[in-house]
Amino acid sequence: MSAATLITSGAVLLTVVGIAYGGTFLLRVVNGVFPANELQRSYFRAGHAHAGVLVILGLVVRLLLDQPTVPDWGRLLGDLVLLAAILMPAGFFLSVVGRDPQAPNRLRVLIPLGAASLVTGLVAAGGALIVGGLAIG
């Protein structure tokens, strides 16, 4: 495993601490300690869930792509999965900030940008893994 993959993987694992802290925020919202309307509660739940799943998925993709036969473009584009792990949750959380918002604000655009990043990263990673596998056999 390369030094870059080890360092990035360590940093990604440390972000899970932040996601866990976000879970305590979500509990405060659900228990009524932190006032939030229904829109905020649903967006906060979605943001927290997407953060957790996408960080772990991004880490798995990064580790899979760290093979010598995988082309460099696959590693580069595969990191878009980790970018999605930032964009989508940020879109969910930041688009409903404020007191009693009735609709998401313009930062909701981060959600589809994150989705595009996720799909591009996954398609590229899948293709690069196939190319890398064919190079072996």
Report d(CA 109, CA 11) in Å as an integer.
26
89 burial via Cβ count (<10 Å: 0-12, 13-18, 19+): buried
pTM of the model: 0.90
Each residue's pLDDT, cut to its tens digit, for the chain (137 residues) gives 778 888 988 998 999 998 998 889 999 998 989 899 999 999 999 999 999 999 999 999 999 999 999 999 999 999 999 999 999 999 999 999 999 999 999 999 999 999 999 999 999 999 999 999 999 97
Report d(CA 37, CA 16) in Å as an integer.
26
Cα end-to-end span (Å), the chain: 21
49 burial via Cβ count (<10 Å: 0-12, 13-18, 19+): middle
